[in-house]
Structure 1
Amino acid sequence: MLALDTSAKTTSVSFCDDTHVIAEFSVNTMRTHSQTLMPMIESALSCCGAALSETELFAVSSGPGSFTGLRIGIGAVKGLALGLSKPCIGVSTLEALAYNMIDQNGIILAAMDARCKQVYCALFEAENQTMTRLTPDTACSIASLRETIASFADAPITLVGDGAHLCFKELSDEFPTLVLASEPNRMQRASSVARCALSHFPQDCTDAADLMPFYLRLPQAQRELLRKQSTGGQSL
């Protein structure tokens, strides 16, 4: 399996089988995914002596996340899978982030910075190498997370994702059971995308043509247009 994550600042590529991570490259710089992704795929395959044609399944984080980032990752997978006539799996970025903590039993809050004082978030529970979803993916204000967290605050809740620090800063005084994951475990990792994809295999396999991004809210340009239309053409 070749797995990719371009949903946030980190670009991550992993070449795996159903039991091992054979290669994983991650880059967290100011360079764009369009600059880093394809060279990383080439390098990962070259370093482990594999050919792209050996790939039997392509996996990618399909959202939520950066609109441009998601399109780049999904576009790359669509092109590669189409050329090889291989199946794809798109997985929730938040669920894949939770898989960073699959070896730790407990509640996990995956949170991504959605800007505009919002986060993309979902709660999961890891137990004995199995991940269970507790809440759907949603976009909400950090303040509105209080009610959701309160339902699970009797036990430690580990925060992952690039919105984890924001949530911890705002809510840890009120909820002392919140635990901030280490920085490597807060970043998107393609090996976690691969592990998440395996849990959805084969029921969620799709053809390359049907692979689509999952947005929890409209792109900013569309939101601005709707605002102008609702105010008679006046920008807010």
Structure 2
Amino acid sequence: MKILSVSTATNQLSVALNEDTTVMVEKSEHDKRNHSEHLDPLIAEILTENHLKLKDIDRFAVAIGPGSYTGLRIGVTTIKMFASILAKQAVGVSTMKALAANCQDTDTLIVAGIDARNDNFFAGAYLRENGQLVNIIEDGHYHIDKLLKAVKDYALAHKLEKVVFVGTGFEKQKEAINKLDLPVSFGTDEQNVTHAGVIGKLAIDEQPVEPDQLLPRYLRRTQAEVDWHKKTGKPFEADSNYVEEV
């Protein structure tokens, strides 16, 4: 099965072509924020170099979040369009799960996170059980204090002696992390970024969805939603009409 996967969830753009669990090629651009300009050319480059067309792809996969609002929309919209037009399978993969998958450690609580500024993180924690990643602390938007309390409580309750932090921003929290009084380590440069090839591997075991059901997982209200709520006093809804109201 040929899988084309992309990640636009962070400031790194990543595109990969997998043949089942084998990463055939992965190309990334670091510290770029104009994903809308670079994503399609990078996809075209990979397909051309491998003598393929979009119609030859069996499954399309994308990091659905959490992450950059604009970045997520770019990646999800692109994959939805490809899958819909070509009547192919579409799969969304958690950005946190993709980060956690970079770590192969067992008997270790893998805390994956993306710096959301002001001591906040998009984060989740995972364990490897029988070769599969299990989400232990639900992906969400956490203040660092709340996240670390959940990590410590789980580690102590389950007698886990190792915790590894992968992703961005944790290096700025070393003082707070060291107060966990647990053996901790931090991911390498390669482990701290989201790889499309890893997303492709995870996509094999994820349940495909209809393209129109593929949606970003922001896990935090956008500023527009907050402003709309303040203006109207109406409760938040899953698909609120604040865009029309503003």
**TM-score where L is the length of structure 1:** 0.88
1:125 aligned to which of 124, 127, 130: 127
**Corresponding residue number in structure 2 for 1:185:** 191
Is there any run of 5+ residues in structure 1 with no aligned partner, and where?
Answer: 231-236
Secondary structure (helix, strand or coil) at the match of 1:193 reads helix
Aligned to 2:222, which of 219, 230, 235? 219
C-alpha distance in 2 between matches for 1:194 and 1:15? 8
Structure 2 spans left out of the alignment, 5+ residues? 234-246
Aligned to 2:137: 135
Tell me which of 7, 17, 20 is aligned to 1:15.
Answer: 17
Task: State the Cα distance separating 1:80 from its structure 2 match.
Answer: 1.1
**Percent of aligned pairs with the same residue?**
29
Amino acid at match of 1:162: T
Residue in 2 aligned with 1:198?
A: 204
Tell me, in whole angstroms, the C-alpha distance in 2 between the residues paired with 1:146 and 1:218: 22
Contact 1:160 1:181 in 2 (8 A): yes
Question: TM-score under structure 2 normalisation?
Answer: 0.85
Letter of the 1:2 counterpart:
L
> Which residue of the other structure, out of 207, 211, 226, is the alignment partner of 1:208?
211
Amino acid at match of 1:188: T
The 1-side partners of 2:231 and 2:167 are apart by: 33
Contact 2:109 2:162 in 1 (8 A): yes
Contact 1:87 1:207 in 2 (8 A): yes
The residue type paired with residue 25 of structure 1 is: K
The aligned runs of 1:90-105 (5 Å cut-off) are: 90-101=92-103, 103-105=104-106
Counterpart of 1:152 in 2: which secondary structure? helix
TM-fit CA distance, 1:164: 3.2
**Alpha-carbon contact 1:60-1:89 (below 8 Å) kept:** yes
CA-based RMSD? 1.9
Tell me the CA shift for residue 178 of structure 1. Answer: 1.8
Q: How many residue pairs get matched? A: 226
Query: 2:49 aligned with 1:54, yes or no?
Result: no
Asked if the contact 1:164/1:186 (under 8 Å) is kept, the reply is no
Per mean C-alpha deviation after superposition, the further-off stretch among 157-166 and 61-70 is 157-166
Cα distance, 1:169–1:58 mapped onto 2, change above 3 Å: farther
Runs of 4+ in 1 over 4 A off after TM superposition: 227-230
Classify the secondary structure of the residue corresponding to 2:216.
Answer: coil
1:108 to 83, 90, 110: 110
**How big is the shift at 1:131?**
1.3
- Provide the C-alpha distance between the structure 1 equivalents of 2:48 and 2:173, rounded to a whole number of angstroms: 39
Q: Distance in 2 between matches of 1:188 and 1:14?
A: 11
Amino acid at match of 2:105: Q
How far off its partner does 1:11 sit? 0.5
**Structure 1 residues 169 and 228: CA distance shift in structure 2, 3 A:** farther
Alignment partner of 2:80 out of 75, 78, 81: 78
For residue 79 of structure 1, what is the amino acid of its counterpart?
M
Q: Partner of 1:97: helix, strand, or coil?
A: helix
- CA displacement at 1:126 relative to structure 2: 2.1
The alpha-carbon distance between structure 1 residues 163 and 197, as it changes in their structure 2 partners (threshold 3 A), is: farther
Q: Which amino acid aligns with 2:119?
A: K
Letter in 2 for 1:152: A
Q: What is the deviation of 1:187?
A: 0.4
